[in-house]
Structure 1
Amino acid sequence: MSPPAGVTVQLRQLIHYHLDNGFVENALFLAGRLHAFEPRNPDAAHLLALCNLRLGRYKAAFEHARAKGVHSQHLGCAYVFAQACLGLERYDVGAQALEKVRNLWAGRNHWNKHSETSRRHMPDAAACYCMLGKLHAAHGDTKKAIDFYVEALKINSFMWDAFTGLCDIGAVVRPQNVFKITPDMLASISHAATNGHAGQAAPPQEAQDLRNPFVSTPDIDPFNPSSRQAGDVGLNMGGSNLLSRLNGRNPAANGMIAQSTYHDVDTPITNGQSFQDEDVMMGEAGGPVLTEQADIALAPGRKPRVPAFNATEEPPRMRPITSRVRTKTNPEGDQTDIPRPIYQNGHKRTVSGHALQQTQNPPTQPSDPTAAPPRRSVRLLNSITQIRPSSRPGGMSSKDMESKERRELRKARAAAPKARSGTASTVGRVVSGNRKPHVDVSESSKPESRPVSAAAVAVAPPPRMAPPADAVREQDALNYLLDLLLKIGSGYRYLSRYDSAKALDAFALVPKAQRETPWVLAQIGKAYYERAQYAEAKNAFQKIREMAPSYMDHMEVYSNTLWQLKDEVALGHLAHTLMDQDRLSPQAWCALGNASSLDRQHDDAVKCFSRATQLDPKFAYAFTLQGHEHVANEEFDKAMAAYRNAISADNRHYNGWYGLGNVYERLGKYEVAEKHYRAAANINQNNAMILVRIGMVLTHLKKPTTALTLFTAALTIDPHSISSRFRRAQILLKLSNSSNPAYASEALDELLYLKDAAPEDPNIHFLLGRCYKRLGERGKAVRHLTIAMNLDPRGAGVVKGVLESLGEEGEEEDEGGWSSEDEH
């Protein structure tokens, strides 16, 4: 038994209802029923795949969308298929599917067409370009990814994913050229505001914008359309004139229903566009999904009317002109069946069979006090009859000429008009009351006159001298929003390039209400962390924990910050709190691993970091932390494997390159270590520690002059870096001799600064004693060497060797070393 025709339409409505309300399981169940009814309908396959995608079932979405998305020309299936491919890491297959249906989404722009009551079920060009960018970026094709991201931003400046994708790839991005109103956006808001503004009509030069695929195209004038559609007789259901809207019911063409833009009238209206021009889902057996709302011009406000009928009577409602009888029950319970014939000329006829003409000066009728009051439809039709000719400027149209010829022919036939008594009833003589005496709307002082309707005001709009207030207000709102995104995007761009100082300056310009949000505070915390300002980073992350305890993103950076501060209590509390909130988040396992690492339980830390990588194989930082723990256990082979996995997960994760360089440096492979260190420096050009490491490797390679250049560059990046100053002083002291006596003085200046910055460091006092020895100041040399031996008794042997050589000529080998820097 085949289902009724409306079953599939109702199922589509229910599916979208459940999707919009978050009941995805219900939507999936109903999508299965729809697919069973229409197994060959691509729309049914699309909804079934979409529900599985929302539930995270990528394989099921892949299977349901593959047939229609790859082999058939269906945009919805292709887009869901591409999203499933992104989750299943089948990036090239998903990109090919979207490219095959490019003709279906190219040129589409749905910006400004989504609201609380309207949406588009199919993606537009910006969404497809952004998805292609994600697929190619994950596949490793950076050039194509950049091109697609740029195309997405050209269409829609609010494509934040495209912007962050460009920043994460490492492309050169100028936010001031991204976050601005495009000409298409400006044309769209101006066009929508013009059509929605009462008393204004679109100028002739905007006629070509109506055919622009980036601009919505509602009817220009709902009361007086410039062209009559086929089958529109003026009173039929679905017409765009005033009487059709006053009918109380108005189903859209082809079964599509849109929600009314009136707040107090439940009158569905159409969008005036064909389904081919809109991205709606059409089924083989059913109509489209009934949630599309078109951009239709609002009718101007109506003035109060003086009722011309008896207040005790219910005014008759207008009936649609159809070929069948339609019945509607009035509030009193009686039913009125009024069949309305349709003729090809679109005019009503009297009971005598003659066509009723719409003349400017119809013959007057003698007033009859006993006759029935004029019908409401008569008054409305006469109003439109008087208004419509004035809305078409210029000469008389062909329809008017035809009406004039028919009037002359009727006058010739009616040679002997019949007399009519003053008491004769007119009921049944004139069906629609079109023979009502003409009333001049300009004579408002007469008792028979009626107020000028709002439609008459809308017929002759005043010339538009300035853009509508709605357009100006919307443009101001867009400018403010884009300026906000520009400030946040500038900070994100600087942070993606590891320019933390400029990133902090950019985030400082963000309004306080937006700056005090978890996402922005997390970016500020990351910027402080990159600058090694761990106390400030801790404060930023603590604000996040106070205002949004459930926020999990970037909590691995917070745990690393606490590890650097050696705050065992805070780190342990954070780890247990995150585990209680979400045991399946990689950030929680990273925090627990850092807590174990700080407690010197490196094996447990490795297990925690391994669990984090199992939960998210693309979580590069967990692989890096795992490698650090293997280095602490001197398991260099496992450490190198972990660092390589981090680079595979994110090629721009400089910590992985830095970790590999550190392992090779420990193994004595300085050339290979220099290569990996420089790869990390190319990604993060603002990290002084990486340059220090390269300089140390070059020192081992007997290239002290080049190493000095790198130490100086590191000091330029971070003037407060103790490691950079110490290494620079060390290499200056090594290069100082009789031919370069100035190097020793420069080294002394650096060491005196370090003595004040870190007075408890034995290495600084040891190197300062050697520097005074080189300069011939034996008393100061003995003093600082003694202080170094007291601070670290383990180096007493080395210090005694230097003290014994104070009276000898020449310089001893470089003794002592700087403690290894923190790897996290």
Structure 2
Amino acid sequence: MPPPSSTAVTAQLRQLDAHDRRSGESAYLLALCHFRLGDYKSAYEISKYNGYRGIHLNCAYIFAQTCLAIDRYKDGITALEKSRGLWSHTSNFGKHTATARASNPDSASVLCLLGKLYKAYDDKKKAIINFEEALKANPFMWDAFTALCDMGVSVRTQNIFKLNDVLIDGLSFDQPPGILVEQKDNGAINPIDKKTSRSAAFDTMDPFDSQRTGASSETLIGGNFMSAGSGENDFMSKIRAARSKMPAAPEPVHDLLESPTVANLDPNSSRVTLGVEPPQAPTRKTRNSQPPDHGSLEAAPKTHRLTTKRSQKAQEEHASEPNLAILRASAAPVSVTDRKRTVSGHPVQPRPQPEEPPQRRSARLFRGTNGKASSGATAVGAAAARELKKARPQISRILRPNSSSASVGRTVSGNRKPLEENGGMDVDQAEVPRIKEAPPQPPVIKSAEPEMVKIEETLKHLIELLKKFGSGYLALSQYRSMDALAAYMSLPRAHQETPWVLSQLGRAHYEQASYAEAEKYYRELRRLAPTRLEDMEVYSTILWFLKRETDLSFLAHELVDSSWHSPQAWCALGNAWSLSRDHEQALRCFKRATQLNPKFAYAFTLQGHEHVSNEEYEKALTAYRLAISADRRHYNAYYGIGRVYEKLGSYDKAYTHFHSASIINPTNAVLICCIGNVLEKQRQIVQALQYFSKATELAPHAAQTRYKKARALLALNQLDAAQKELEVLKTLAPDEATVHFLLGKLYKTLNDKGSAVRHFTIALNLDPKASQQIKEAIESLEDDDSFDDSMMA
């Protein structure tokens, strides 16, 4: 049968809500259904009544989530603050199981949501406070940690990812099997202290104490404690009243090798339930039985005194060895003869089989320890022998009819002779069957200590693993690409090959402008997870820088076919159009991406780049500012605004925005180089050289940065340093015309006319479009008086 559709479920929940308007739970379920269907406005309206006032925690939580989705941040903040008394100081850690989850959100999840609302409300201070409190309550709250990193907060992973008191308390709640749990009337479950509950459980399980065993079986039903007056009918109350008037029955002596009533330790349950044996056959009634005389119960017979003393002595012996039954059951199986016991508890000696014709079974049954038949024994037939083989409940003689008499025998075939004393036991208790099944093995009680040690070791391993993930994410959020690469490469091999880690490694190389290396990681990512959309806009930009037009077009069509409504797919398609020089089509794609997700900052930035290519500077500034409003730490938008102002000649404004971008990303060599360019255009060559040198240290293999540094050195007449930079640059970019042209100018200054003319000629061959400028440089050499023909050699 197919599952019901979402529409049918919504209709049923709506009927449930209409049936009971006052119930906050039905409103929560209906709002949750609409929220998961993406109908945020309906979820907002349904959960508003109970959620905004903070009277129902689940409604307030789902109401705040809808407020975050529909940009009503203040309402969500108000709802969570009003319901603070319902979720503060609560923790669900350790309370989830494989099949059950905690129904209400705890303080860590609510604080994380509250931090997201404050962040969207542009209250950075309160957002940071709530995220920090969420991590204190639960260090595994990854959303709170990533939010702090994305906000640029300097955090310490060593202080965040560690075992704290909250985690230990959560583990202590997870009681091992066999620990009692008290359930109150309102449904709340309170665990009993671990140290006292274990002893209490074993006291309840004492099979040798009939009073405590009976009390436990009456009061502990289904793992819940019940009082005598809680929900009982009149019939049961009368029975209890009658029982209370009767004197306590003496405890019978139990055979240790029998399977007594022991505690049932269910491994799938956290409660102790007493195992109840199958009901046994009722006791036989004698033909001359009389109604029970309660008055005769007060005077116990002499034979019973002996039984009571022996039972008390056995109890004292068993009290010193509470686990004797378990130890004996776990030992090697014993023979049938060894399991036979006398009344005093001694094993029965094996008897040799007689060679003469066998005697009557009645004589064998009631033979005493001295080998003689009991004088009061009664003959038992074959049918009675079969009946006697069955297990009989061990009932004290004081509770039997006509217990005031010395003893009463069984009547078979009209024989009504009374039995003589047989050690205070009657036939049922003295008789030992020939064949006796081995008692079932009791469940082994496992100690909770090794399990707790395993759980703590697992938590420590997870914490250490999370530290590495957190260190890498924090370093990448601060654009320390080398530190991020080191952290991610320290992960186990299995984790390094996951799509998320591959994406992080590719992004780290992208921030270092190592586009070829980044492309390898993203290519492997596409092979492992072809449907992944996250960071695909970065991959398309990498292919744009590498001029891989075919690969970029194939990626864009794959993404659009797999997810038409994803902004990443439209960004990739826009980059493909941009690489083919169709800027209008690219702009349409980028605008479509911003329509799908108005908070997708990277799409606004790409849109601004296309406006700059079309020399539409005002539109470009508008797109960059929208990107900054979507993400305050999106340094690409600051860089775009700086480029626009640099093209417009506003070098002061360009310097301000380039500097703002470099504060966010201090390790980006391109931003440092852009600041040097603006200073160079303002004739501040010395300050510009400092930025060029810093950019060269950050990106030693960047040809453009070294070229600008060499040009600044040449302008400052530092010829030796400029020559070293140009020699390195000639190795990095041997086919670059500007490099050879700058080398020609350097050798002209050094009066090496031959080398100057050679490099000017190479530059002319590499870039014929700059022939006019290169010819003028060569003509300036010919006008020099020191010119000779040897320069052509």
**TM-score, normalization by structure 1:** 0.69
**Other structure's SS at 1:340 match:** helix
In the alignment, structure 1 residue 184 sits paired with structure 2 residue 80:
no
Cα distance in 1 for partners of 2:467, 2:536 equals 25
**Which of 739, 743, 751 is equivalent to 1:768?**
743
| Equivalences for residues 28-43 of structure 1 within 5 A | 28-43=10-25
What amino acid does structure 1 have at the position aligned with 2:624? Y
2:138·2:166 contact (CA, 8 Å) conserved in 1?
Answer: no
**Aligned length, in residue pairs:** 624
Counterpart of 2:705? 724
Decide whether the 8 Å contact of 2:52 with 2:60 is kept in 1.
Answer: yes
2:728 corresponds, among 753, 756, 769, to 753
* % identical aligned pairs: 41
Which residue is 1:506 aligned to? 487
Q: Which residue is equivalent to 1:590?
A: 571
Deviation at 1:342, TM superposition (A): 5.7
Residue deviations 1:69-107 (CA, integer Å, cap 9, x gap): 122421111111110010011112211210111111110
> In the TM superposition, what are the counterparts of 1:610-625 in structure 2 within 5 Å?
610-625=591-606
Counterpart residue number, 2:690: 709
Deviations 1:358-409, CA, capped at 9 Å, x for gaps: 55579xxxxx98459xxxxxxxxx99x989x979x9xxxxxxxxxxxxxxxx
1:555 corresponds in structure 2 to 536
* Inter-CA distance 551–488: structure 2 relative to 1 (3 Å threshold): same
Task: Give deviations 1:755-793, integer Å, cap 9, x for gaps.
Answer: 111000000011111111122222111111111111111
**Structure 1 residue 191: Cα displacement:** 5.3
Query: Counterpart of 1:110?
Result: 92
Query: Counterpart of 2:128?
Result: 146
**Residue 52 in 1 paired to residue 34 in 2?**
yes
Letter in 2 for 1:785: F
Q: Aligned equivalents of 1:22 and 1:523: distance in 2?
A: 40
Partner of 2:561: 580
Query: Could you tell me which residue of structure 2 aligns to residue 696 of structure 1?
Result: 677
Secondary structure (helix, strand or coil) at the match of 2:21 reads coil
The residue that corresponds to 1:196 in the other structure is 176
Equivalent residue number for residue 522 of structure 2: 541
Aligned to 2:258: none
CA distance in 2, matches of 1:719, 1:49: 57
Quote the residue 2:329 is aligned against.
none
1:806-817 equivalent positions in 2, closer than 5 A:
806=781
**Structure 1 residue aligned with 2:652:** 671
Considering only CA atoms, is the larger Rg found in Structure 1 or Structure 2?
2
Q: Contact 2:601/2:627 (CA < 8 Å) preserved in 1?
A: yes
> Using CA pairs below 8 Å that are at least 6 residues apart, which structure has the higher relative contact order?
1
**Are 1:785 and 2:765 counterparts?**
no
Task: Provide the rounded CA distance (Å) in 2 between the counterparts of 1:42 and 1:51.
Answer: 14
Q: Structure 2: which 5+ runs fail to align?
A: 183-187, 205-209, 254-281, 287-310, 323-401, 412-422, 786-793
Match of 1:794 in 2: 769
The one-letter amino acid of 1:555's match is M
In the TM superposition, 1:306-455 aligns within 5 A as 323-324=232-233, 340-341=236-237, 349-350=242-243, 354-357=245-248, 359=250, 370-371=284-285, 418-419=404-405, 422=408
RMSD, matched Cα: 4.2
Aligned-pair CA distance for 1:214:
14
Query: Within 2, Cα distance between the matches of 1:240 and 1:661?
Result: 84
1:69 corresponds to 2:51? yes
Tell me: CA distance 1:759–1:506, structure 2 relative to 1, closer, same or farther (3 Å).
Answer: same
The Cα of 1:162 is off from its aligned counterpart by 0.6
Cα separation, 1, equivalents of 2:203 and 2:568: 62
Deviates more, 1:677-686 or 1:25-34: 25-34
Confirm or deny: 8 A CA contact 1:133 1:145 kept in the other structure: yes
Aligned amino acid, residue 704 of structure 1: I
- Which deviates more from structure 2 when the two are superposed, residues 753-762 or residues 510-519? 510-519
Residues 1:569 and 1:148: Cα distance change in structure 2 (over 3 Å): same
Structure 2 CA distance for partners of 1:216 and 1:618, relative to 1, 3 Å:
farther
Which string of whole-angstrom CA distances, capped at 9 and with x for unpartnered residues, describes residues 523-549 of structure 1? 111111111111221111111221221
Q: Distance in 2 between matches of 1:761 and 1:215?
A: 77
Q: Are 2:149 and 2:477, in contact at CA under 8 Å, matched by a contact in 1?
A: yes
Counterpart-to-counterpart distance in 2, 1:91 and 1:444: 82
CA shift, 1:805, in A, is 2.6
SS in 1 for 2:15: helix
Distance 1:187 1:453, change over 3 A: farther
| Aligned counterpart, 2:113 | 131
Structure 2 contact 627–634 (Cα < 8 Å) conserved: yes
Contact 1:322 1:340 in 2 (8 A): no
* d(CA) in 2 for partners of 1:538, 1:451: 71
Q: Is the 1:107–1:214 contact (alpha carbons within 8 Å) kept by the matching residues of 2?
A: no
- 1:218-367 to 2 correspondence within 5 Å? 221=197, 224=200, 241=216, 250=222, 269=223, 323-324=232-233, 340-341=236-237, 349-350=242-243, 354-357=245-248, 359=250
What is the TM-score of this pair, normalised by structure 2?
0.71
Is this contact kept in 1: 2:180–2:201, CA < 8 A? Answer: no
Q: What CA distance in whole angstroms lies between the structure 1 residues aligned with 2:142 and 2:693?
A: 39
**Cα 1:695/1:570, change in 2 over 3 Å:** same
Secondary structure of 1:39's partner? coil
Q: For each residue in 1:24-75, what CA deviation from the matched residue of structure 2 results, as whole angstroms up to 9, or x when unmatched? A: 5444223212211110111222112111111111111111111111224211
Q: Report the CA distance shift for 1:422/1:525 in structure 2 as closer, same or farther (over 3 A).
A: same
Distance 1:322 1:355, change over 3 A: farther
List aligned pairs for 1:630-645, cutoff 5 A.
Answer: 630-645=611-626
Per-residue deviation at 1:665?
0.3
Q: Which digits, 9 at most, give the CA deviation of each residue in 1:336-368, with x for residues without a partner?
A: xxx63367xxx5635xx8334255579xxxxx9
DSSP 3-state at the match of 2:568: helix
Q: Indicate how the Cα distance of structure 1 residues 214 and 151 shifts in structure 2: closer, same or farther if over 3 A, else same.
A: farther
Q: What is the CA–CA distance in structure 1 between the aligned matches of 2:135 and 2:23, rounded to whole Å?
A: 33
Matching residue of 1:8 = none
Could you tell me how far apart the structure 1 residues matched to 2:97 and 2:8 are?
24
Q: Contact 2:515 / 2:545 at 8 angstroms: preserved in 1?
A: yes
Q: Distance in 2 between matches of 1:74 and 1:129?
A: 17
* In structure 2, distance between residues paired with 1:656 and 1:369: 93
Aligned residue type for 1:647: I
1:803 CA displacement = 2.2
Contact 2:91 2:170 in 1 (8 A): no
> For the Cα contact (< 8 Å) 1:492–1:503, is it kept in 2?
yes
